[in-house]
Amino acid sequence: MPGHCPACCGVFSSIEPDGLTLRDCPGCQECERLRAKLDQWKDRANNAYRASIGEVWHWQGDEGDHPESLTCPVLMSAEQVREFIAMRTRLDIADRVIATRSKIADAQEGLRDTCSTIGVRVALKAVEDANIEYAHAVAEWEEANG
């Protein structure tokens, strides 16, 4: 039985011989949401079928698991999934720490450059002031000694 899209008032789904399909309704968020949900259901049904015929990999967590070469669904325990999620979380945190340390190092280098530049300017100003003071002292001495 077809449903109706409240956003565009068109028919968004129908039963076809090959299953549930969505008609094209470009730009409609409701239709896109339903299309994504339908794709998710199709993936689940496909994975369940593949599992029922034994076309799955049972994750062992040992040297024999090579996920880069797998093209079928993978079955694993909930504990293994939790371990993967925890590992990914730790890796994400480590990445943020490394990125932050890199930013700190860049900031420190920039500060050193700035301080160095300021230091050079201060030193040049001190030399300039000393030269002016020296010139005044020399002029005063020459005037006094005539």
What does the pLDDT look like over 58-100, one tens digit per residue? 788 787 778 788 888 888 888 988 988 999 988 888 888 888 8
User: In 3D, which of 51, 60, 66, 55 has the Cα closest to residue 80?
Assistant: 60
Same domain, 105 and 71: no
pLDDT at 39 over 70: yes
User: Which residues lie closer than 8 Å to 95 by C-beta, 6 or more apart?
Assistant: none
Same domain, 3 and 47: yes
- Continuous H helices in 54-77: none
The domain containing residue 61 runs over which residues?
1-76
The residue from 24, 47, 76 where one domain ends is 76
The residue from 21, 44, 76 where one domain ends is 76
- Continuous H helices in the chain: 29-52, 78-145
The residue from 76, 111, 133 where one domain ends is 76
Cα–Cα distance measured from residue 114 to residue 64, given in angstroms and rounded to the nearest whole number: 55
Span 131-141, mean pLDDT? 81
Q: Quote the number of domains for the chain.
A: 2
Higher per-residue confidence, 17 vs 109 = 109
pLDDT at 47 over 50: yes
pLDDT band at 1 (very low <50, low <70, confident <90, very high): very low
